Amino acid sequence: MSAQDDCIFCRIAAGEIPSDFLYEDDLVVAFPDISPLAPVHVLVVPKEHYENIMDDVPAETLSALAHAIGIVAEKTGIDKTGFRCIANTGDDGGQTVHHLHIHVLGGRPLDPNAGEGK
Ligand code: AMP
Ligand code: ZN
C-alpha cells in the first residue's frame, strides 16, 4: 500500500514530521512513542502503510520489523533485562493509529496482568 497523506506514521516514516529515529532501513523505522508508558517506549513501524497485522503484510516486512525490534532492544539497553512487544489491532485491541506499529516497552518491570502498551 502506498503512503497516505493523512496518516501520522506515514508522515513520520517519510521524514515529513521530524522524529528521532533509533533505527531505519529500507522497510522500517523506529522512533520514540510521544506518550511513553515506560522508560523505554519505542514504536517500530513499516514505511509502507498497512492498517495492522491483518493487512497482508509481506513476509520480508514482518522479518524487518522483528529485526528492528532486536536492534532497538540492544540500542536502548533492554535486550538483557527484557521487554514487551505489543501490536494493538483493531477496535477491541485498542488500536488508535491505523498504521501497523509494534510497541517496544521496557526499562522497568512490566505488570504481567496489565495491557501496557496502551
Ligand atoms: P495504539 O493505541 O496501539 O494505536 O498506539 C498508538 C501510539 O502512537 C500511542 O502510544 C501514541 O502515544 C503514539 N503516537 C501518536 N502520535 C504519535 C507521534 N506523532 N509520535 C510518536 N508517537 C505517537
Ligand atoms: Zn500510514
Confidence of residue 4 (pLDDT cuts 50, 70, 90): confident
The count of structural domains within the chain is: 1
Cell numbers describing residue 61 = 516486512
- What is the Cα Rg of the chain in Å? 13
81: CA distance to ligand 2 center in Å? Answer: 31
Task: Tell which one of 42, 52, 92, 96 to mutate to probe ligand 1, the residue whose CB is within 8 A of the most ligand atoms.
Answer: 96
Whether 54 is in a domain gets the answer: yes
d(CA 3, CA 74): 29
For residue 20, is it within any domain?
yes
Q: What is the pTM of this model?
A: 0.95
Q: What CATH code is carried by the domain that includes residue 52?
A: 3.30.428.10
Label residue 116 by pLDDT band (50, 70, 90): low
Q: Tell whether 117 is covered by a domain.
A: no
| 111 phi-psi bin (left φ>0, alpha ψ -120 to 50, beta other) | beta
**φ and ψ at 106, to 5 degrees?**
-175, -170
Q: How far apart are CA 65 and CA 77, in angstroms?
A: 18
Pairing between β-strand 40-46 and β-strand 102-106 as defined by DSSP bridges: antiparallel
Measured from the Cα of 88, ligand 1's closest atom is: 3
Please state, rounded to an integer, the average pLDDT across all residues of the chain.
94
The verdict on residue 114 lying in a domain is: no
Cα–Cα distance for residue pair 39/109, rounded to 1 Å = 10
Cβ–ligand 1 distance for 35 under 6 Å, the answer yes
pLDDT, average across residues 102-106? 98
pLDDT tens column, 26-76: 999 999 999 999 999 999 999 999 999 999 999 999 999 999 999 999 999
Q: What pLDDT is stored for residue 106 in this prediction? A: 97
The values of phi and psi at residue 60, to 5°, are -70, -30
Q: Containing domain of residue 51, as a range?
A: 8-106
Which pLDDT score, from 0 to 100, does residue 83 have?
Answer: 97
Q: What is the pLDDT of residue 18?
A: 92
12 located within any domain? yes
Would you call 91 helix, strand, or coil by DSSP? helix
